[in-house]
Structure 1
Amino acid sequence: DRSFDLAVSLLALQHANDLPGALVQIRRALRPDGLFVGCLLGGRTLTELRQVLTQAESEVEGGASPRVAPFAEVRDVGGLLQRAGFALPVADVETVTVRYGDPFGLMRDLRAMGLTNALRERRGGLRRETLMRAAALYAERFADPDGRLRATFEMIWLSGWVPHESQQKPLRPGSAQARLADALGTVERKEPS
């Protein structure tokens, strides 16, 4: 407890079974005014793959199993930082689109990165017919004009500080000393009621 000035987690927290608990433990490990910086995959990650696998499995096998693990949404992660007791929390999103010649290249890369699905609720492996249907759907729905396929990765960047008396505090509403319109050099217009 209270041993570190900085904690960094890059692309690991999406694997935590208890994300709120992990954030609480990170906060506990930091000294007052310690900083946490992290990045985890967000909810729109692999949306294309998720959609085609669900549709293909439904069509071919008569039902769908979770094939792509769920990821947190940015608004939820920001709230979790606050719940864990971090001050001045920030959550921001960066979306990266990677392109592949076929969906099997994407799946090979995911496996090589250790990002295969570890959900207990999923059924066994996919049948060849289901995989081929998913590949056809991917090409139909997510191909760029040059034929390459898009794969979306949403990265949620996080930061939060352990509270300390030296940190800035929000001002009391109505206590401003200057008007925004003056700072912007514009005329303030009142909306008709």
Structure 2
Amino acid sequence: MKLPSATAPSLFDRAVIALHRNRVRDDALFLHRAAVDEVQDRLSMVNKSFKAPAVVTPFPHIWEGLWPEVRIIRDDEVLNLTPGAHDLVIHAMALHWANDPVGQLIQCHRALKSDGLMLTVCLGGDTLQELRAALGQAEIEVSGGLSPRVAPMAELRDLGGLLQRAGLALPVADKATLTAEYRDLTHLVHDLRAMGETNALTNRLKQPTRRAVFDKAQDIYATHFKTPHGHLTATFELICLTGWAPDDSQPKPLRPGSAQMRLAEALGTDEGKLPD
């Protein structure tokens, strides 16, 4: 696995991410608690008990106590995971801040025992789509330009492809969409700051933004994304990825040409004719 070198360009400023997380309020971490619910829901459908789980997370207290022997790992660039030590690894609400997301998943894979499960929850591409649209249009109208303000987040299909690149078997990617309502743009930004999810892009604007940009963004937001009660809608998309460390006991796809029956016979129809 190739990890980012010290001189490689980074999309995110990890020092700024750490500063943002230091001012987090626990009561604002509703997305992380939603991630716990998503994980527990998916594990309830797995006919297997896990004895050696690990969770990669920036907020340990959210996950501690869920399993007796759980090991909590910080989401550093190089994860403090022991190869082959775990039958379950959960990467929780941190992959969208990773400069090398494939590397993160490969490290999780290496930490799994044979037939171990990796489960990832992270923010996806539809997250804060309303804020992105309003700020982008406002900045163009007021300043005549556009600066990176909301971190780009991967789409479901792209994230699903990362599982295969990481060498995991039986990959599955799905999503859950949450909608929150805010009094105004200021209320939304304060909440994002309280959950540690504000702009940490390396190429972010380094100077104060004109007040007129935010005033215009508020007007655009309220015009296009207002609820019947007058609140602003904000979308948060949770992407859930599951994959298994390969094992001989897992089902394998059939080789091309190995079918024992023609498709027409299985459908009970003539060759080249679809059933009614």
- Provide the residue aligned with 2:219 in structure 1: 136
Is 1:175 aligned to residue 259 of structure 2?
A: yes
Task: Give unmatched runs, 5+ long, in structure 2.
Answer: 1-82
1:106 deviates by: 1.2
- 1:163: which partner in 2? 246
Rounded Cα–Cα distance in structure 1 between residues aligned with 2:269 and 2:121: 40
TM-score (norm 1): 0.90
Cα deviation code 1:83-112 (max 9, x no counterpart): 100000000011111111212111111000
Alignment correspondent of 1:95 = 177
Deviation per residue, 1:86-144 (Å, 9 max, x gap):
00000001111111121211111100000011112121332211111111110011012
1:75 aligns with 2:75: no
Q: 2:196 is matched with which residue?
A: 114
Shift of 1:188: 5.1
Q: Distance in 2 between matches of 1:164 and 1:127?
A: 56
1:53 aligned partner: 135
Letter of the structure 1 residue corresponding to residue 97 of structure 2 = H
Residue among 90, 93, 98 paired with 1:16: 98
For the aligned residues, what is the CA RMSD? Answer: 2.2
- TM-score, structure 2 normalization: 0.64
In the alignment, what sits opposite 1:125? 208
Shift of 1:62: 1.6
Aligned length: 189
Task: Kindly indicate whether structure 1 or structure 2 has the higher relative contact order, using CA contacts under 8 Å at least 6 residues apart.
Answer: 1
List alignment gaps of at least 5 residues for structure 1: none
CA distance in 1, matches of 2:208, 2:149: 9
Quote the sequence identity (%): 52
1:16-35 paired onto structure 2 within 5 Å: 16-35=98-117
Shift of 1:191: 4.4
More off after superposition, 11-20 vs 124-133:
124-133
Q: Does 1:40 align with 2:122?
A: yes
